[in-house]
Chain A
Amino acid sequence: METAIDMANAKEIRTQIKSIRSTQKITKAMEMVAASKMRKVQTRMAASRPYAEKMRKVISHLAKANPEYRHPFMLEREVKRVGFIIIATDRGLCGGLNVNLFKTAILALRDWRGKHAEADFCVLGAKAIAFFRRVGGKVLAQATHLGDTPHVNDLVGTVKVMLDAYRAGEVDRVFLVNNVFVNTMSQKPSVIQLLPIQGIEDPELQAHWDYIYEPEARELLDSVLTRFVESQVYQGVVENVACEQAARMVAMKSASDNAGDLINSLQLAYNKARQASITKELAEIVGGAAAV
């Protein structure tokens, strides 16, 4: 009777090992996919940097110039309501990447609530939408499934909703919340202020000149500053994709390692159970023979 239990036990352990092994195969494959994708997204991240830099330079020239017209995007005003653009991933299985990001966002939000300012959100990524549905919060616009090769065009609508809210005076400050790629092992959630545009200084230029604007400054500045914000958000999205792949790679690696450890200890248990059943069988036979 007991022998039968040992055998059943051994069989059960064997199926368990089999199922863990197939999980390990999946996590290993995901790890490798993430590793190969990461190289690509890193080059993409580098490729989008020159635009952001040049844009920043133009904006700094603008801030230093002496224009006849100041755009609302460059003017501070009293804060009654704030806007957050939050960039998360579409898929899970990337460790604590999204959770850490949401924690940071909630902290920033609490901070503003303390100053009696409510918040509106524009969210990118399915995980962010799921989060805000659970937590609650006024989501103005969203975009998901930007993929591993995001395009600026896919963001234009979502960003515009937030910019329109700012223009209409519905929000008085706009923040971008996303993960910043430090290196493969480390991704840091960050909150930066998008609007009003601040803190861009270029000491090289003197403040006694102005551009020739074609067409007039008002309209032109609007396109320049809109593109500036879009490029910041795009940079954030590309960076977040790099973070996602890096985080997934690390998470899947540790999952594969854990599965390996588990398999080893189960294998040991299996061997013991098998040995025990054989020993017992022998003992029974010997006992039976002695009784005769």
Chain B
Amino acid sequence: MTFHVDIVSAEHEIFSGSAQMVFAPAEMGELGITPRHAPLLTRLKPGSVRVKTDADEQVFFVSGGILEIQPHVVTVLSDTAVRARDIDEAAALEAKRRAEEALANQTAEVDIVRAQTELAEALARLRTLEHIRKTLGGH
């Protein structure tokens, strides 16, 4: 008897197929899952997920994520990197700081772009003036 297993991460699909048994590093301890398991939702620790198919056993590393078990479907939503409360917190602070900085800092890149267009405009205007002066002076 087999059931369907999907292992995906936000950036790509890792495994999709049927299996006899799946082992996953759940937060509360290693889980061995066979078909007709009760519905369960849990977080995963960094570790390896082993999928036992008819032919062989495949091993996938996950850096954490979510495991959902339905009687005939197991879904592993793998994270793309190790997640922890303090790491997320630091990332959020960084994003905030960037916003404050960009709004305060008037010499940021976007202003350089604007300055460049203004410079180009001014140069074009000068060239036109010079051209007019030349053609008028020629007579």
Binding site for B on A (CB under 8 A): 1, 4-5, 8, 44, 47-48, 50-52, 54-55, 57-58, 61-62, 65, 92, 122-123, 126-127, 129-130, 133, 139-144, 151-153, 156-158, 160-161, 164, 209-215, 220, 223-224, 227, 230-231, 234
Chain A residues contacting B80 (CB-CB under 8 Å) are: 151-153
Interface residues of B in 17-63 (CB under 8 A from A): 26-28, 38-43
A54 to B9 CA separation, bound complex (whole angstroms): 10
Interface residue B132 (Cβ < 8 Å from any Cβ of A): no
The distance from the CB of A94 to the nearest CB of chain B, in whole angstroms, is 14
A210 to B42 CA separation, bound complex (whole angstroms): 13
Chain B residues contacting A44 (CB-CB under 8 Å) are: 11
Q: A227 near B40 (CB under 8 angstroms)? A: no
Q: B41 near A157 (CB under 8 angstroms)? A: no
Q: B70 near A224 (CB under 8 angstroms)? A: no
A49 to B88 CA separation, bound complex (whole angstroms): 24
Q: B38 near A212 (CB under 8 angstroms)? A: yes
Q: Do A133 and B8 contact each other (CB < 8 Å), given the known contacts A160-B88, A211-B39, A214-B27?
A: no
Interface residues of B in 77-101 (CB under 8 A from A): 77, 79-81, 83, 88-96, 98-99
Q: B91 near A234 (CB under 8 angstroms)? A: no
Q: A212 near B8 (CB under 8 angstroms)? A: no
Closest-by-CB residue of B relative to A213 is B41
Q: Do A142 and B99 contact each other (CB < 8 Å), given the known contacts A215-B27, A223-B43?
A: yes
4 shortest interchain CB distances as A-B pairs: A157-B91, A141-B95, A157-B95, A130-B110
Q: A142 near B95 (CB under 8 angstroms)? A: yes
From the candidates A1, A126, A231, name the one contacting B109 in the complex (CB within 8 A): A126
A211 to B93 CA separation, bound complex (whole angstroms): 34
Chain A residues contacting B139 (CB-CB under 8 Å) are: 1
A51 to B15 CA separation, bound complex (whole angstroms): 11
Q: A212 near B96 (CB under 8 angstroms)? A: no
A151 to B11 CA separation, bound complex (whole angstroms): 7
A interface, by DSSP: helix, strand, loop or mixed? helix
Q: B102 near A58 (CB under 8 angstroms)? A: no
Interface size class of chain B, counting residues whose CB lies under 8 Å from the partner chain: 35 or more
- Supply 8 A–B pairs (Cβ within 8 Å), ascending by A: A50-B12, A126-B109, A151-B80, A153-B80, A209-B39, A211-B40, A211-B41, A231-B10
Chain B residues contacting A52 (CB-CB under 8 Å) are: 10
Q: B10 near A156 (CB under 8 angstroms)? A: no
Q: B102 near A129 (CB under 8 angstroms)? A: yes
Q: B13 near A47 (CB under 8 angstroms)? A: yes
A57 to B79 CA separation, bound complex (whole angstroms): 17
The distance from the CB of A151 to the nearest CB of chain B, in whole angstroms, is 7
Residue of B16, B94, B139 ringed by the most chain A CB atoms within 10 A: B94
A247 to B34 CA separation, bound complex (whole angstroms): 49
Residue of A140, A153, A220 ringed by the most chain B CB atoms within 10 A: A153
Q: B94 near A210 (CB under 8 angstroms)? A: no
A126 to B39 CA separation, bound complex (whole angstroms): 44
Q: B102 near A133 (CB under 8 angstroms)? A: yes
A223 to B27 CA separation, bound complex (whole angstroms): 13
The distance from the CB of A101 to the nearest CB of chain B, in whole angstroms, is 16
Chain B residues contacting A210 (CB-CB under 8 Å) are: 39
Residue of A54, A55, A213 ringed by the most chain B CB atoms within 10 A: A54
A164 to B80 CA separation, bound complex (whole angstroms): 22
Q: B28 near A223 (CB under 8 angstroms)? A: no
